[in-house]
Chains A and B, each alone.
Chain A
């Protein structure tokens, strides 16, 4: 079956530009997560959406970062006025139900963002 789909797979942009990253979760998954992974580093949580509940934005590193999830499905992560330290792989994951269950998160292959 179709997994989590992310686009673009690679993005190179100049410092100061805005970028939009897209995530298409597995059909029927109500929970969606964004993480980033810097070279050789672990996962850094960014934001979590669950159904119609208010998202948990506690991991967003600055107000240049925002995310939305329209219609409970596709999500976009937007980074405004990009900086070189934003260079990383941005990963999206989804899971079937509320996180009070043991259901695992399933990841996409990420968007590799490079800021020149």
Chain B
């Protein structure tokens, strides 16, 4: 699986949009981009995933650049409960690629 690079930490004001970047410059054509987050003392929570097109669900939007070398997770109106470590991973379906690994992620702190 391609490696990803994320900033170690970010701050965001409550009610503002949080834009979390992820670099995956070595991504291959069939690898998907997934975002998870982990709130303190909870299990990882799936947020969103995509291949080429931008995606939106009730939690967030995922913007993938045309060359697919980077992506941005957007939380449109961050709340205090969105404070968590956010992980960006890329995964190719198939084989033994179900063994998920997380990097260090981005600690997003939402401030009142």
Given contacts A42-B103, A104-B49, contact A109 B98 (CB under 8 A): no
Contact count A vs B, C-beta below 8 Å: 55
Residue of A6, A33, A106, A110 near B98 (CB, 8 A) is A33
> Which of A12-20, A63-71, A73-81, A94-102 sits within the interface?
A94-102
Q: Tell me, yes or no, whether B81 is within 8 Å of chain A by CB.
A: no
Interface residues in B11-50 by Cβ distance below 8 A to A read 32, 34, 41-46, 49
Q: Of all chain B residues, which has the CB nearest A33?
A: B98
Residue of B43, B101, B103 near A107 (CB, 8 A) is B43
Q: For chain A, which range describes its interface: under 10, 10 to 19, 20 to 34, or 35 or more residues?
A: 20 to 34
Q: How far is the CA of A100 from the CA of B49 in the complex (A)?
A: 15
CB distance from B87 to the nearest CB of A (A): 9
Q: How far is the CA of A104 from the CA of B32 in the complex (A)?
A: 10
Q: Is the CB of B43 within 8 A of A110?
A: yes
Given contacts A42-B102, A102-B32, contact A91 B97 (CB under 8 A): no
A residues with a Cβ closer than 8 A to B are: 4, 6, 31, 33, 35, 42-43, 45, 48, 56, 59, 91, 93, 95, 99-102, 104-110
